[in-house]
Every structure is written in structure tokens, then in C-alpha cells.
Amino acid sequence: MIEALSHITLIVRDVDRTAQLLRIIFDAEETYDSEGKNYSMSREKFFNIGHTWIAIMEGESRLERSYDHVAFKVTDEEFDAYAARVRAMGLKILPGRERMPGEGRSLYFYDYDNHLFELHTGTLEERLRHYRAS
């Protein structure tokens, strides 16, 4: 039986630069840095973001951008503050899409290696409730 999501690993060109991005935008807590003693394929760092283990590993980054993304839940009250962090870093932000009332607010942005992230205020339960009602 699957218990939960274990972790998400992202391949990045510059581990330290991406680590800084994770700290600034997501308040990521660094828990491990393999620098000087790699047990995996290359240098890696581990972080906790909320209750999610995120690993970043040094390597060749994505060449193309896609809509595959990792979404992090934030409260509606904190949304604007998180969005301001993204804007202050000068990251590529996607234009918003049409949303049904009750879906929550979202901000989609790319990191330095073409990974797409989303800040989202809604929950699955809220979204399904609005889908059923329409």
C-alpha cells in the first residue's frame, strides 16, 4: 500500500543557486548537503518544504519548458507575499488561466532550470465541490 509521496527530485545546473531560490520563495529548510561526499549520482541537497522532502541534484537541466509542475499550497492570506518573493527574484511567471470560482488562486513560475512551480490557495475538496455544483 502506498502511504504517501516520499520525495521529489529535481535536476539542476547549480545546486547552490537553486537552494537559495527554495529558501527565499518556499522557506525551505535545508537538511542535507552531499558536498565532498556524494552517495548518489552527483552532488545533492535535501530540503523540507512544509511536509514535503525535496531533493535537488546537480546535472543537466531540462531543455524545454512544459506544464508538468509541482504545486505548493499556501493560504489565501499569504498568497500575495509569496507572489512578491517570486517577482522580486525576476523569475518567468506564466500568465494566469481562466478559473472557476472556488478553484483558488494560482501563480505559475519557472525556476532557473525550466521546472514549473505553482503557488496555489485551493484544495482538492474545494475544487471538486465546485466542479460538482457547476
Q: Report CA-CA distances (Å) from 27 to 60, 69, 97.
A: 25, 19, 26
Residue 90 identity (one-letter amino acid): G
Residue 28 burial (10 A CB sphere; 0-12, 13-18, 19+): buried
* Same topology between domain 1-61 and domain 62-134: yes
Residues designated as active site? 44
Q: How far apart are the first and last CA of the chain?
A: 34
Give the start-to-end residue ranges of the domains of the chain.
Answer: 1-61, 62-134
Q: Report CA-CA distances (Å) from 38 to 35, 43, 132.
A: 7, 6, 49
User: Using CA atoms, how far apart are residues 109 and 65, in angstroms rounded to an integer?
Assistant: 11
Helix (H) or strand (E) holding 87: helix 76-88
What pLDDT shows up at residue 127?
81
Q: Which is the CATH superfamily of the domain at 1-61?
A: 2,3-Dihydroxybiphenyl 1,2-Dioxygenase, domain 1 (3.10.180.10)
What pLDDT shows up at residue 45?
96
Give me the CATH code for the 62-134 domain, please.
3.10.180.10
Helix (H) or strand (E) holding 52: strand 52-58
What pLDDT shows up at residue 100?
67
Q: What is the pLDDT along the chain (134 residues), one digit of tens a residue?
A: 878 889 999 999 999 999 999 999 999 999 999 987 877 889 999 999 999 999 999 999 878 999 999 999 999 999 999 999 999 999 999 987 776 667 788 999 999 999 999 999 988 888 888 878 77
